[in-house]
Amino acid sequence: MKNIRSFSKNELITLCEALGQQKFRANQLWEWLWQKGARSFDDMTNLSKDFRATLASEFSFPTMTIANSQKSSDGTIKYAFRLDDGFLVEGVLIPTSDRVTACISSQVGCSLSCTFCATGFLKRERNLRSDEIYDQVSILREEAAKEYGINLSNIVLMGMGEPLLNYSNVLNGIERITAPDGLAMSPQRITLSTAGIAKMIKKLGDDGVRFNLALSLHSANNEQRSKIMPITDSNSLDDLVEALNYFYEKTGTRVTLEYCVINDINDNPFEAEELVAFCRRIKCKVNLIEYNPIDLAEFISSSAEKIQRFADYLEKNRVIVNIRKSRGKDIDAACGQLANKLA
């Protein structure tokens, strides 16, 4: 049966009329699908029982469910979401005193094989549909209110998978999350993180997206970056500079460079110099992130002192830089640690 959430609003109007329903029923159905958080046709209480039964007999309504959750000592909560075909993806709620950020996934597994990332050791099973991307935010918004008593304020696509390899579903999901007749969240509070696919970064610019863009850089030297991020072999740093400048020209949005500081890998003076040179070629700011260990790699994080020295060098060279503290490390919920350990 066809997924009811694959229909546009106009297609729902045509569908309702074909089923002998008045046009306004399509608007009610749309509200249940995208605004009111319905999880089944039975939830749609202002539709008649007969109409709901007809919908249930002719259309599928697959939804995501929470399979498990785990709470960190710092208040971060990791969730395992069960998809309708049995696969799992993970998402995270990260609270501060005045806001809550949801970290969501875009694929089941990943195909990029970044050597410092737990998801990179998983097989890519499939892309998430746009309704599954929407569901993560819808569920985590409810969980934020329940767990913290604070509205969900920010969304980062920094979970499992590479968003730009699931381009149309990701953009359609974000459209439903930000639309006035969806969850009505501000696109300026959404950040998409990519490992760096130059042609798709340019496409983001051509499509005039209004959300923020982050590049997982982790080294500004092609040879070193290629060792930890094989995607560099097909998307060189020069390619990325060209794409990021194109994106900025089209959108006016400054990119954030994410840089996990790994001991004796990318924390030396040479790497700092390379990063400064890279930053001078684009409009950007830098987030330095302490590396979070995973079972399948032998990397360790640089010391706080080395990270601070690295940041000081960037600041001295007029690079905007922030040091980000990892959250949820004790439950494998921090950056680079998502690996479907919750079952």
Determine the Cα–Cα distance for residues 166 and 332; give it in Å rounded to an integer: 25
Does the active-site annotation cover 11? no
In the DSSP assignment, the letter for residue 163 is G
Catalytic residue among 90, 143, 258, 274: 90
Does the active-site annotation cover 117? no
Catalytic residue among 103, 110, 114, 335: 335
Determine the Cα–Cα distance for residues 148 and 89; give it in Å rounded to an integer: 23
CB atoms within 10 A of CB 252: 9
Q: What are residue 78's phi and psi, to 5 degrees?
A: -105, 135
CA triplet 89, 169, 244: central angle to 5 degrees?
A: 100
In the DSSP assignment, the letter for residue 66 is E
Determine the Cα–Cα distance for residues 153 and 94; give it in Å rounded to an integer: 10
Name the pairing type of β-strands 77-82 and 107-108: unpaired
* 3-class SS string, 28-97: HHHHHHHCCCCCCHHHCCCCCHHHHHHHHHHEECCCCEEEEEEECCCCCEEEEEECCCCCEEEEEEEECC
Contact indicator for 104, 152 with CB cutoff of 8 Å: no
Residues marked active site are found at 90, 335
